[in-house]
Amino acid sequence: MSIARSSVRIPLTVGAAAMAAAVVTGCSSGSGSIYDTPKAAVTAATTPAAITPAAAPTLQTTGAPAFNTPSSTPTVPPVTGKELSAFLPTAAILPPGWTIKGNGNESDTGTAINDYRGDPGQKTEPCNQMRLSGSVLSLGYQLSNAMNEVNDDKHTVQVTLAAYRPGDAAQLLTDLRAYAERCKTFTGKSVDGISIPMTVTLQPVPGLGDEAFDMKRVPTGPYSSMEVVAIRIGDKLLFLSGDDILGRLPNFMQLAVPLAKTIK
């Protein structure tokens, strides 16, 4: 008699510094709370297939554009969080199968502008504190931000839109690429203290905004993975981030294409 096996993903721990950064942004749990939430058992028979409409391109790894090219749509800072919130996803622009629950845990930095040009924590952060959440990765050099969440059936994707001084959005993506390169492999910890080998990949996404990349943190074994798609539109950055705690990673490309087109 054979016994069907469930594919169980187990959350990983995260360093105190990364958690503190998430608190500073004021974001809700949503897609960023995987370290504290056990992943439900999901069988191959019950795991929903990723939604891939014909109009949504898939990740490409060839024909990558040159990074840090002059922006085709420069912005003039300062741009406030209140202004950024106008570009957050709404039901009218979401692709089929995606929804916003309630107000989507929407938040923004209001009319305040951050005068302090703080370096990204990822320049010096230990690899084992890596957290691929837009609310964390967007912080370096940031002037303002706005965030909400969208849902694909069971999956939640955090949408973070941030504004920067001229040139700083491109510089932040350069810093994050260096972070991914420095942390290509490292050892993390499970919630019960087990050492877990981790692999980090970063691939450019041609044809999306002025420049874009897809970054993943993938553990060895039945543990949760994280993914973020970062898109630069002038001096703004759009981050889409989530995890596979419910069986698969969200279809980020399906969201990225229509959302990037609405940002000016």
Helical (H) or strand (E) element with 76: none
Residues 36-59: tens digit of each pLDDT? 333 433 333 333 334 344 344 445
Best CATH choice for the domain 16-43+73-262 from the list 3.40.50.300, 3.40.50.10130, 3.20.10.10, 3.40.1000.70: 3.40.1000.70
pLDDT tier, 67 (very low <50, low <70, confident <90, very high otherwise): very low
Higher local confidence (pLDDT), 17 or 128: 128
Is the per-residue pLDDT at 239 higher than 60?
Answer: yes
State the average pLDDT for the chain: 79
Residues 139-170: tens digit of each pLDDT? 999 999 999 999 998 789 999 999 999 999 99
The DSSP secondary structure of 118-177, one letter per residue, reads PPPGGGT--GGG----HHHHT-TTEEEEEEEEEEETTEEEEEEEEEESTTHHHHHHHHHH
User: CA distances (Å), 25 to each of 21, 32, 108, 210, in order?
Assistant: 7, 12, 9, 25
The DSSP secondary structure of 211-250, one letter per residue, reads EEEEEEEEESSSB--EEEEEEEETTEEEEEEEE-TTSS--
Chain center to CA of 127: 17
Position 158 scores a pLDDT of 97
